[in-house]
Amino acid sequence: MINRKNLMLSSLVFATVISASSAPLAYGAESKSAAPSAVTFKINDVHYSNSTGKHSLLSAPFVKNGSTMVPVRAAAESLGASITWNNKNQRITLSGAGFGSIQFTLNSSYAVNAKGEKIKLPEQVRQAKGTVFVPARSLATLMGVRLQWEPATDTITLANQAQSPGSINFNYPFAKDTEGWKGGFADMPVDYDKEIYELDFARNLLPVQNNTANYGLKLSGHNRSDDLFMYLSKGMEGFKPNASYNVNLKFAMYTDAGGGMIGIGGSPAESVFLKAGILANEPLSVPTSSEGSQYYRMNVDIGSQGTGGKDVKVIGNAAKPDVEKDGYQRVEFDYSAKVTANAKGEIFILIGADSGFEGLTTLYFDDIKVTAQAAESGQ
Protein backbone atom coordinates (compact mmCIF):
# COMPACT_ATOMS: atom_id res chain seq x y z
CA MET A 1 0.00 0.00 0.00
CA ILE A 2 1.04 3.61 -0.28
CA ASN A 3 3.34 3.23 2.70
CA ARG A 4 0.31 1.88 4.42
CA LYS A 5 2.01 1.38 7.77
CA ASN A 6 2.35 5.14 7.98
CA LEU A 7 -1.23 5.66 6.87
CA MET A 8 -2.63 3.14 9.24
CA LEU A 9 -0.37 3.35 12.24
CA SER A 10 -0.32 7.15 11.96
CA SER A 11 2.46 9.34 10.71
CA LEU A 12 4.48 8.48 13.79
CA VAL A 13 6.15 5.14 13.34
CA PHE A 14 6.58 4.71 17.05
CA ALA A 15 6.00 1.27 18.42
CA THR A 16 4.79 0.30 21.81
CA VAL A 17 5.34 -2.38 24.25
CA ILE A 18 2.63 -4.55 25.18
CA SER A 19 0.30 -4.57 28.07
CA ALA A 20 -2.72 -6.23 29.50
CA SER A 21 -5.37 -4.23 27.71
CA SER A 22 -9.02 -4.37 28.59
CA ALA A 23 -10.74 -7.69 27.96
CA PRO A 24 -12.72 -8.03 24.72
CA LEU A 25 -16.36 -7.07 25.00
CA ALA A 26 -19.34 -9.16 24.05
CA TYR A 27 -20.86 -7.88 20.84
CA GLY A 28 -22.43 -4.53 21.55
CA ALA A 29 -22.01 -4.86 25.29
CA GLU A 30 -21.16 -1.82 27.35
CA SER A 31 -17.59 -1.79 28.55
CA LYS A 32 -16.81 -2.93 32.07
CA SER A 33 -13.03 -2.53 31.94
CA ALA A 34 -10.77 -2.69 34.96
CA ALA A 35 -9.19 0.47 36.31
CA PRO A 36 -6.76 1.93 33.77
CA SER A 37 -3.01 1.69 34.21
CA ALA A 38 -0.20 3.41 32.32
CA VAL A 39 3.58 3.55 31.93
CA THR A 40 5.66 6.48 30.68
CA PHE A 41 9.11 6.33 29.05
CA LYS A 42 11.42 9.11 27.91
CA ILE A 43 13.83 8.76 25.00
CA ASN A 44 17.46 8.33 26.16
CA ASP A 45 16.39 8.34 29.83
CA VAL A 46 17.02 5.30 32.05
CA HIS A 47 14.02 6.10 34.26
CA TYR A 48 10.35 5.31 33.68
CA SER A 49 7.15 5.84 35.67
CA ASN A 50 4.08 3.70 36.32
CA SER A 51 1.34 3.48 38.95
CA THR A 52 3.84 2.41 41.63
CA GLY A 53 6.25 5.31 41.08
CA LYS A 54 9.57 5.98 39.34
CA HIS A 55 11.90 3.12 38.37
CA SER A 56 15.30 2.58 36.72
CA LEU A 57 16.27 0.75 33.53
CA LEU A 58 19.59 -0.81 32.54
CA SER A 59 19.22 0.74 29.08
CA ALA A 60 17.15 3.72 27.92
CA PRO A 61 14.46 3.79 25.20
CA PHE A 62 15.86 4.89 21.84
CA VAL A 63 14.93 5.70 18.25
CA LYS A 64 16.05 3.31 15.49
CA ASN A 65 15.34 4.09 11.83
CA GLY A 66 12.41 6.27 12.80
CA SER A 67 10.86 3.78 15.23
CA THR A 68 10.86 4.36 18.96
CA MET A 69 11.98 1.26 20.87
CA VAL A 70 10.77 0.59 24.41
CA PRO A 71 11.73 -2.08 26.99
CA VAL A 72 9.22 -4.88 26.71
CA ARG A 73 9.39 -6.26 30.26
CA ALA A 74 8.97 -2.88 31.97
CA ALA A 75 6.06 -2.01 29.73
CA ALA A 76 4.30 -5.37 29.97
CA GLU A 77 4.55 -5.71 33.74
CA SER A 78 3.53 -2.08 34.30
CA LEU A 79 0.34 -2.73 32.35
CA GLY A 80 -0.50 -6.03 34.02
CA ALA A 81 0.63 -8.48 31.34
CA SER A 82 2.77 -11.52 32.07
CA ILE A 83 6.02 -12.16 30.21
CA THR A 84 8.19 -15.25 29.70
CA TRP A 85 11.59 -15.66 28.03
CA ASN A 86 12.70 -18.76 26.09
CA ASN A 87 16.49 -18.56 26.03
CA LYS A 88 16.88 -21.41 23.53
CA ASN A 89 14.67 -19.74 20.91
CA GLN A 90 15.53 -16.17 22.02
CA ARG A 91 11.78 -15.55 22.20
CA ILE A 92 9.59 -13.46 24.47
CA THR A 93 5.93 -14.32 24.99
CA LEU A 94 3.47 -11.79 26.38
CA SER A 95 0.14 -12.97 27.80
CA GLY A 96 -2.96 -11.10 28.89
CA ALA A 97 -6.70 -11.65 29.17
CA GLY A 98 -7.44 -8.99 26.58
CA PHE A 99 -5.12 -10.11 23.78
CA GLY A 100 -4.20 -13.75 24.39
CA SER A 101 -0.50 -14.16 23.62
CA ILE A 102 2.00 -12.35 21.41
CA GLN A 103 5.50 -13.61 20.59
CA PHE A 104 8.58 -11.56 19.75
CA THR A 105 11.88 -13.11 18.72
CA LEU A 106 15.20 -11.34 19.15
CA ASN A 107 16.54 -9.83 15.90
CA SER A 108 13.29 -10.65 14.07
CA SER A 109 11.18 -8.13 12.13
CA TYR A 110 8.00 -10.10 12.79
CA ALA A 111 5.70 -10.68 15.74
CA VAL A 112 3.28 -13.58 16.02
CA ASN A 113 -0.21 -12.74 17.27
CA ALA A 114 -2.69 -14.87 19.20
CA LYS A 115 -3.95 -16.43 15.96
CA GLY A 116 -0.48 -17.55 14.94
CA GLU A 117 -0.19 -14.93 12.18
CA LYS A 118 3.13 -13.23 11.43
CA ILE A 119 2.85 -9.44 11.71
CA LYS A 120 5.54 -7.24 10.11
CA LEU A 121 7.22 -4.81 12.50
CA PRO A 122 8.78 -1.50 11.40
CA GLU A 123 12.05 -2.41 13.15
CA GLN A 124 13.67 -5.57 14.49
CA VAL A 125 13.30 -6.66 18.11
CA ARG A 126 16.62 -5.68 19.70
CA GLN A 127 18.61 -6.18 22.89
CA ALA A 128 20.78 -3.68 24.79
CA LYS A 129 22.52 -4.43 28.11
CA GLY A 130 20.32 -7.48 28.59
CA THR A 131 17.11 -5.51 28.00
CA VAL A 132 14.85 -6.46 25.09
CA PHE A 133 13.29 -3.58 23.14
CA VAL A 134 10.33 -3.70 20.76
CA PRO A 135 9.08 -1.14 18.24
CA ALA A 136 6.06 0.40 19.74
CA ARG A 137 3.20 1.81 17.68
CA SER A 138 2.63 -1.53 15.96
CA LEU A 139 2.72 -3.29 19.33
CA ALA A 140 0.19 -0.88 20.75
CA THR A 141 -2.10 -1.95 17.92
CA LEU A 142 -1.41 -5.65 18.52
CA MET A 143 -2.00 -5.40 22.26
CA GLY A 144 -4.93 -3.00 22.10
CA VAL A 145 -3.26 -0.34 24.23
CA ARG A 146 -3.28 3.41 23.74
CA LEU A 147 -0.08 5.28 22.89
CA GLN A 148 0.47 8.99 23.47
CA TRP A 149 3.58 10.74 22.18
CA GLU A 150 4.67 14.12 23.58
CA PRO A 151 7.30 15.56 21.20
CA ALA A 152 8.08 18.52 23.46
CA THR A 153 9.37 16.20 26.18
CA ASP A 154 10.31 13.11 24.12
CA THR A 155 8.00 10.97 26.23
CA ILE A 156 5.77 8.03 25.32
CA THR A 157 2.88 6.90 27.51
CA LEU A 158 1.27 3.49 27.06
CA ALA A 159 -2.09 2.95 28.72
CA ASN A 160 -4.77 0.33 28.89
CA GLN A 161 -7.89 1.47 27.08
CA ALA A 162 -9.95 3.03 29.84
CA GLN A 163 -13.66 2.92 29.05
CA SER A 164 -16.13 5.28 30.65
CA PRO A 165 -19.83 4.50 31.23
CA GLY A 166 -20.59 6.37 27.98
CA SER A 167 -18.45 3.99 25.93
CA ILE A 168 -19.70 1.05 23.87
CA ASN A 169 -17.46 -1.62 22.28
CA PHE A 170 -18.15 -4.08 19.47
CA ASN A 171 -15.85 -6.92 18.39
CA TYR A 172 -16.37 -9.09 15.29
CA PRO A 173 -13.99 -12.08 14.82
CA PHE A 174 -16.45 -14.01 12.57
CA ALA A 175 -15.89 -17.23 14.49
CA LYS A 176 -19.42 -18.56 13.84
CA ASP A 177 -21.08 -16.51 11.06
CA THR A 178 -21.07 -13.09 9.35
CA GLU A 179 -22.37 -11.52 12.61
CA GLY A 180 -24.79 -9.28 10.75
CA TRP A 181 -22.29 -7.76 8.33
CA LYS A 182 -23.52 -7.25 4.76
CA GLY A 183 -21.57 -7.15 1.50
CA GLY A 184 -22.42 -5.00 -1.51
CA PHE A 185 -21.19 -3.63 -4.83
CA ALA A 186 -21.64 -0.33 -6.67
CA ASP A 187 -20.33 1.77 -9.58
CA MET A 188 -21.42 -0.79 -12.16
CA PRO A 189 -24.35 -1.22 -14.58
CA VAL A 190 -27.64 -2.51 -13.19
CA ASP A 191 -27.73 -5.04 -16.05
CA TYR A 192 -24.14 -6.23 -15.41
CA ASP A 193 -23.02 -9.65 -16.64
CA LYS A 194 -22.74 -11.81 -13.51
CA GLU A 195 -20.26 -14.18 -15.13
CA ILE A 196 -17.65 -11.57 -16.02
CA TYR A 197 -18.04 -9.41 -12.89
CA GLU A 198 -17.42 -12.42 -10.58
CA LEU A 199 -18.91 -10.66 -7.55
CA ASP A 200 -18.66 -12.56 -4.27
CA PHE A 201 -19.34 -11.83 -0.62
CA ALA A 202 -18.97 -14.73 1.83
CA ARG A 203 -17.60 -15.87 5.16
CA ASN A 204 -14.49 -17.92 4.28
CA LEU A 205 -11.39 -19.34 5.88
CA LEU A 206 -8.64 -16.74 5.69
CA PRO A 207 -6.13 -17.69 2.96
CA VAL A 208 -3.05 -18.00 5.14
CA GLN A 209 -0.75 -20.97 5.60
CA ASN A 210 -1.97 -23.84 7.78
CA ASN A 211 -5.20 -22.03 8.67
CA THR A 212 -8.04 -24.41 9.48
CA ALA A 213 -10.11 -22.38 11.94
CA ASN A 214 -9.76 -18.61 11.42
CA TYR A 215 -12.59 -17.13 9.34
CA GLY A 216 -13.10 -13.70 7.83
CA LEU A 217 -15.31 -11.93 5.30
CA LYS A 218 -14.40 -12.24 1.61
CA LEU A 219 -15.07 -9.49 -0.94
CA SER A 220 -14.26 -10.21 -4.56
CA GLY A 221 -15.10 -8.55 -7.86
CA HIS A 222 -13.79 -7.96 -11.38
CA ASN A 223 -13.73 -4.30 -12.37
CA ARG A 224 -15.27 -4.21 -15.86
CA SER A 225 -16.53 -0.63 -15.90
CA ASP A 226 -13.38 1.45 -15.19
CA ASP A 227 -14.59 1.57 -11.60
CA LEU A 228 -15.91 -0.86 -8.99
CA PHE A 229 -16.78 -0.26 -5.34
CA MET A 230 -17.00 -3.31 -3.05
CA TYR A 231 -18.06 -2.80 0.55
CA LEU A 232 -18.96 -4.25 3.93
CA SER A 233 -21.54 -2.57 6.15
CA LYS A 234 -23.04 -3.10 9.59
CA GLY A 235 -25.68 -1.29 11.62
CA MET A 236 -25.10 -1.04 15.37
CA GLU A 237 -27.73 -0.31 18.00
CA GLY A 238 -27.74 0.75 21.63
CA PHE A 239 -26.82 4.41 21.19
CA LYS A 240 -28.70 7.37 22.57
CA PRO A 241 -30.94 8.74 19.80
CA ASN A 242 -29.61 11.93 18.19
CA ALA A 243 -26.55 11.96 20.47
CA SER A 244 -23.01 12.51 19.17
CA TYR A 245 -20.23 9.93 19.52
CA ASN A 246 -16.52 9.79 18.74
CA VAL A 247 -16.11 6.42 17.02
CA ASN A 248 -12.94 4.46 16.31
CA LEU A 249 -12.83 1.62 13.78
CA LYS A 250 -10.02 -0.94 13.60
CA PHE A 251 -9.87 -3.92 11.24
CA ALA A 252 -7.51 -6.29 9.50
CA MET A 253 -7.42 -6.83 5.74
CA TYR A 254 -5.70 -9.73 3.94
CA THR A 255 -4.37 -8.99 0.46
CA ASP A 256 -2.12 -10.71 -2.09
CA ALA A 257 -1.58 -7.61 -4.26
CA GLY A 258 2.07 -6.62 -4.55
CA GLY A 259 2.99 -2.94 -4.69
CA GLY A 260 4.71 -1.45 -7.73
CA MET A 261 2.92 -3.69 -10.23
CA ILE A 262 1.26 -2.44 -13.42
CA GLY A 263 -2.17 -3.55 -14.63
CA ILE A 264 -4.96 -2.49 -16.94
CA GLY A 265 -6.23 0.92 -15.83
CA GLY A 266 -3.83 1.00 -12.90
CA SER A 267 -2.01 -1.05 -10.29
CA PRO A 268 -3.74 -4.07 -8.67
CA ALA A 269 -2.46 -2.74 -5.34
CA GLU A 270 -2.03 1.04 -5.29
CA SER A 271 -5.09 1.62 -7.54
CA VAL A 272 -7.43 -0.25 -5.20
CA PHE A 273 -8.21 2.31 -2.49
CA LEU A 274 -9.44 1.29 0.96
CA LYS A 275 -12.13 3.57 2.36
CA ALA A 276 -14.09 3.83 5.59
CA GLY A 277 -17.12 5.71 6.83
CA ILE A 278 -19.00 6.01 10.13
CA LEU A 279 -22.53 7.06 9.32
CA ALA A 280 -25.94 7.86 10.81
CA ASN A 281 -27.88 6.06 8.06
CA GLU A 282 -27.42 2.76 6.27
CA PRO A 283 -25.10 2.87 3.25
CA LEU A 284 -26.74 1.18 0.26
CA SER A 285 -26.06 0.51 -3.40
CA VAL A 286 -29.12 1.82 -5.29
CA PRO A 287 -30.09 1.97 -9.00
CA THR A 288 -29.42 5.46 -10.35
CA SER A 289 -29.96 7.00 -13.79
CA SER A 290 -26.75 8.21 -15.44
CA GLU A 291 -26.66 9.52 -19.03
CA GLY A 292 -29.63 7.40 -20.02
CA SER A 293 -28.32 4.23 -18.35
CA GLN A 294 -28.98 2.63 -14.98
CA TYR A 295 -26.01 2.18 -12.64
CA TYR A 296 -25.69 1.01 -9.07
CA ARG A 297 -24.39 3.97 -7.02
CA MET A 298 -23.92 4.46 -3.29
CA ASN A 299 -26.48 6.57 -1.45
CA VAL A 300 -23.64 8.22 0.52
CA ASP A 301 -20.75 10.32 -0.78
CA ILE A 302 -17.78 7.92 -1.14
CA GLY A 303 -15.74 10.18 -3.46
CA SER A 304 -14.05 8.69 -6.51
CA GLN A 305 -11.25 6.13 -6.28
CA GLY A 306 -8.23 7.91 -4.72
CA THR A 307 -10.35 10.83 -3.51
CA GLY A 308 -12.60 10.57 -0.47
CA GLY A 309 -16.09 12.02 -0.19
CA LYS A 310 -18.08 13.87 2.45
CA ASP A 311 -19.13 10.66 4.17
CA VAL A 312 -16.32 8.22 3.38
CA LYS A 313 -12.54 8.76 3.51
CA VAL A 314 -9.50 7.09 1.92
CA ILE A 315 -7.47 5.21 4.56
CA GLY A 316 -4.98 3.26 2.45
CA ASN A 317 -4.79 0.83 -0.45
CA ALA A 318 -4.61 -2.90 -1.19
CA ALA A 319 -0.82 -3.36 -1.35
CA LYS A 320 0.66 -6.02 0.93
CA PRO A 321 3.59 -5.05 3.20
CA ASP A 322 6.20 -7.48 1.84
CA VAL A 323 6.15 -7.64 -1.96
CA GLU A 324 8.87 -10.32 -1.94
CA LYS A 325 6.67 -12.74 -0.02
CA ASP A 326 4.07 -14.82 -1.87
CA GLY A 327 0.48 -15.18 -0.80
CA TYR A 328 -1.90 -13.16 1.32
CA GLN A 329 -0.62 -10.87 4.06
CA ARG A 330 -2.38 -9.10 6.91
CA VAL A 331 -2.61 -5.30 7.00
CA GLU A 332 -4.18 -3.37 9.89
CA PHE A 333 -6.29 -0.24 9.46
CA ASP A 334 -7.48 2.43 11.89
CA TYR A 335 -10.06 5.17 11.28
CA SER A 336 -11.91 7.60 13.56
CA ALA A 337 -14.80 10.01 13.01
CA LYS A 338 -17.55 11.78 14.89
CA VAL A 339 -21.13 10.76 14.17
CA THR A 340 -24.59 11.60 15.48
CA ALA A 341 -26.73 8.52 16.04
CA ASN A 342 -30.06 8.51 14.20
CA ALA A 343 -33.49 8.74 15.82
CA LYS A 344 -33.48 4.96 16.41
CA GLY A 345 -30.16 5.06 18.27
CA GLU A 346 -28.21 3.47 15.40
CA ILE A 347 -24.91 4.10 13.67
CA PHE A 348 -23.53 2.33 10.57
CA ILE A 349 -20.01 1.27 9.67
CA LEU A 350 -18.81 1.07 6.06
CA ILE A 351 -15.54 -0.50 4.87
CA GLY A 352 -14.95 -0.35 1.14
CA ALA A 353 -12.49 -0.95 -1.70
CA ASP A 354 -12.73 1.54 -4.59
CA SER A 355 -10.99 0.01 -7.59
CA GLY A 356 -9.36 1.70 -10.56
CA PHE A 357 -7.66 -1.58 -11.49
CA GLU A 358 -9.51 -3.26 -14.35
CA GLY A 359 -9.05 -6.80 -13.10
CA LEU A 360 -10.10 -9.18 -10.33
CA THR A 361 -9.57 -8.04 -6.73
CA THR A 362 -10.13 -10.42 -3.81
CA LEU A 363 -9.74 -9.19 -0.24
CA TYR A 364 -10.52 -10.70 3.18
CA PHE A 365 -11.46 -8.84 6.37
CA ASP A 366 -11.23 -9.92 10.00
CA ASP A 367 -11.04 -8.67 13.60
CA ILE A 368 -13.29 -5.66 13.09
CA LYS A 369 -13.45 -3.61 16.29
CA VAL A 370 -15.58 -0.52 16.94
CA THR A 371 -15.35 1.70 20.01
CA ALA A 372 -17.83 4.55 20.49
CA GLN A 373 -17.37 7.20 23.17
CA ALA A 374 -20.13 9.70 23.95
CA ALA A 375 -18.92 13.13 22.82
CA GLU A 376 -18.95 15.91 25.36
CA SER A 377 -20.88 19.07 24.63
CA GLY A 378 -18.99 21.35 22.27
CA GLN A 379 -16.67 18.55 21.10
- With a cut of 60, say whether residue 2 has pLDDT above it: no
How would you label 109-136 residue by residue, b for 16+ Cβ within 10 Å and e otherwise?
Answer: eebbbebebbbbbbbbbbeeeebbbbbb
pLDDT of residue 35: 43
- State the burial class of residue 217 (Cβ atoms within 10 Å of its Cβ: 0-12, 13-18, 19+): buried
- With a cut of 70, say whether residue 44 has pLDDT above it: yes
Residues 355 and 89: their CA atoms lie apart, in Å, by 43
- With a cut of 50, say whether residue 4 has pLDDT above it: no
pLDDT digits (tens, 9 = 90+) for 22-39: 222 222 332 333 345 889
pLDDT digits (tens, 9 = 90+) for 167-177: 788 889 898 89
Strand-pair category, 360-374 with 91-96: unpaired
How is the chain split among helix, strand and coil, in percent rounded to 5?
5, 45, 45
pLDDT digits (tens, 9 = 90+) for 66-107: 889 999 999 988 888 889 999 999 999 998 877 889 999 999
Contact 273, 266 (CB under 8 A): no
Residues 281 and 235: their CA atoms lie apart, in Å, by 8
310 pLDDT band (50/70/90 cuts)? very high
Residues 379 and 364: their CA atoms lie apart, in Å, by 35
Contact 319, 258 (CB under 8 A): yes
